[in-house]
Amino acid sequence: MAIENEQFEMIMMETIDKTEKTVSVLNSEYVTIRAGRANPHILDKVLVDYYGTPTPINQVGNISVTEGRCLVIAPWDASMLKVIEKQIMVENIGITPANDGKVIRLVFPVLTEERRKELVKQIKKMAEDSKVAVRNVRRDAMDSLKKMKNNKELSEDEHAICEKDVDKVISEAIEKIEKLVADKEKDILSV
């Protein structure tokens, strides 16, 4: 940042914070999309009732990956088997749990070509939504800079420099989003 202006620094900090959060949210959404391989993160949003408290499954038992396409959930308390199994069904993650009395198995089926293409469309839409959010952050920052210029808090030259700084942050965020979508698409399409 080339300009020594407290208001501009606040605008930049807010812009950076909002763009980083947008990228982070997209990344966490991508983690929960299953790509044919067993991924324990698919269970991150599944909460079970553990003695009256909604608790993530990874805090009531061990989750391990076996054979690349099978998740095994071994609860520390055997009475939790039915609760976990029921909650997985309720959350509708697309996999039916198999309970053998000791552990719960989630076998990930091999994705069909059609399903892979659907998932790619879904991740691209999510990425586009994130880019729109980032562009909205840019618009808000630019509006704030314009107000500062109109109120004579920034000169024309300072305004131009500030706009370039904001654009640089936005460009970096969009690059990160594009890298995320490219990596996830490669992950989904690899057999």
Which domains, ranges and CATH numbers included, belong to the chain? 6-32+112-189 (1.10.132.20), 40-107 (3.30.1360.40)
Placement of tokens 């059609």 in the chain = 114
Query: How much is the pLDDT for 174?
Result: 95
- Characterize 45-64 residue by residue with b for buried, 16 or more Cβ atoms within 10 angstroms of its Cβ, and e for exposed: ebbbebeeeeeebeebbebe
Q: How many CB atoms lie within 10 A of CB 111?
A: 18
Tokens of 139: 């618009």
* 168: nearest Cα among 38, 32, 37, 19: 19
At 3 the pLDDT is 63
pLDDT at 191: 60
Token pair 């299953």: residue = 34
Contact between residue 120 and residue 188 where contact means Cβ atoms under 8 Å apart: yes
Tally of residues, the chain = 191
Whole-angstrom Cα distance, residue 37 to residue 70? 8
Residue appearing with tokens 């980083």: 20
Question: What is the mean pLDDT for each group of 10 consecutive residues in the chain (191 residues)?
Answer: 74 93 90 73 82 86 84 87 87 82 85 85 93 95 90 86 92 94 86 60
Check residue 1 and give its pLDDT.
45
Amino acid at 71: L
* pTM metric for this prediction: 0.71
DSSP states of 27-64: HHHHHTS--SS--GGGGTT-EEEETTEEEEGGGTEEEE
